[in-house]
Chain A
Amino acid sequence: MMALELFDGPLHVQEITNRWFVDMCDKNYGAFIPFVGIVRDEDGISGLSFDIYEPILKNWFDSWQIKAKAQGAYLLMAHSRGDVPNHTSSYIAAVVSPQRKIALKFINDFVEDFKANAPIWKYDLVDGKRVYAKERSHLLIGAGLLK
């Protein structure tokens, strides 16, 4: 089973979360905590759009998977490429672990670090055009090195 899944367009939330549950429910984890991000209708956008740099995303995810395994937990993540309309999902993260408390802390820490460090670029869809969400984006480590 792949733990990091990338899809073109909006995520099929029910298929993905149901499949993850079915894959995990017989592994003797006591907690399965999914987080589903939904694109909101705000500021006149019709949706969001995403670019992903897969090699560094995979390295980043693998480093988190190692941290999860050290605590007996396991991470799953799905993300969209391209356009994602309002009221659909672009991002699902989930953690399974033997205990609820570890899973709850882990999903929070994982999603926070995802927002800060995963190499994904977000655009607002305005009048059919992509507008880079620069003001909502986060500098990566070492930014400005070539300035």
Chain B
Amino acid sequence: MAKVEFLGPLSRESIEVDITNLAQLKEFFKDDIVLQEWLGICAVALNDTLICSLDVKVEPNDKISLLPPVCGG
């Protein structure tokens, strides 16, 4: 199972999902109305590297992080 972290203002507990790519994660979230409002502005990291393709393979024990817009300083 891959772990999904919801960072910063998403403020949710992590979950574990049985997926093999990110397209499946997109499908997993499609009925989550509250999260849908965030997904349009959230970046996605796989094992702490930002990624830009849904085709990326997800292995068991991978960590997926959802990152809302940032503003340090």
Residues of A at the B interface (CB closer than 8 Å) are 37, 50-51, 53, 55-56, 59, 79, 90-91, 111, 114-123, 132-134, 136-147
Instruction: Provide the main secondary structure of the chain B interface.
Output: mixed
Interchain nearest-CB distance for B27 vs A (Å):
10
Decide: B29 and A146 in contact? CB cutoff 8 A: yes
Cβ contact within 8 Å between A139 and B69: yes
Whether B25 lies near A120 (C-beta < 8 A) is no
* 21 residue pairs A–B, Cβ–Cβ below 8 Å: A50-B72, A53-B7, A53-B8, A79-B72, A91-B72, A115-B73, A119-B67, A122-B71, A134-B68, A134-B69, A139-B41, A139-B43, A141-B50, A142-B44, A145-B42, A145-B43, A145-B44, A145-B53, A146-B42, A146-B44, A146-B66
Report the Cα distance A140→B67, complex, angstroms.
8
CB-based nearest B residue for A53? B7
**Chain B 54-73 interface mask (CB, 8 Å, partner A; 1/0):** 10000000000111111111
In-complex Cβ contact of A142 among B26, B40, B50, B70 (8 A): B50
Of the residues B9, B40, B45, B72, contact of A144 by C-beta under 8 Å:
B40
Q: Which residue of A lies closest to B73 (CB)?
A: A91
DSSP majority for the A interface? mixed
Indicate whether B34 reaches chain A with its CB closer than 8 angstroms: no
Q: In whole angstroms, what is the CA distance A115 to B71 when docked?
A: 6
Q: Which of B's residues lie within 8 Å of A, judged by CB?
A: 7-9, 22, 25-26, 29, 36, 39-45, 48-54, 65-73
Chain B minimum-CB-distance residue to A139: B69
Residue of B nearest to A141 (CB): B50
Residue in B closest to A58 when the chains form the complex, CB atoms? B48
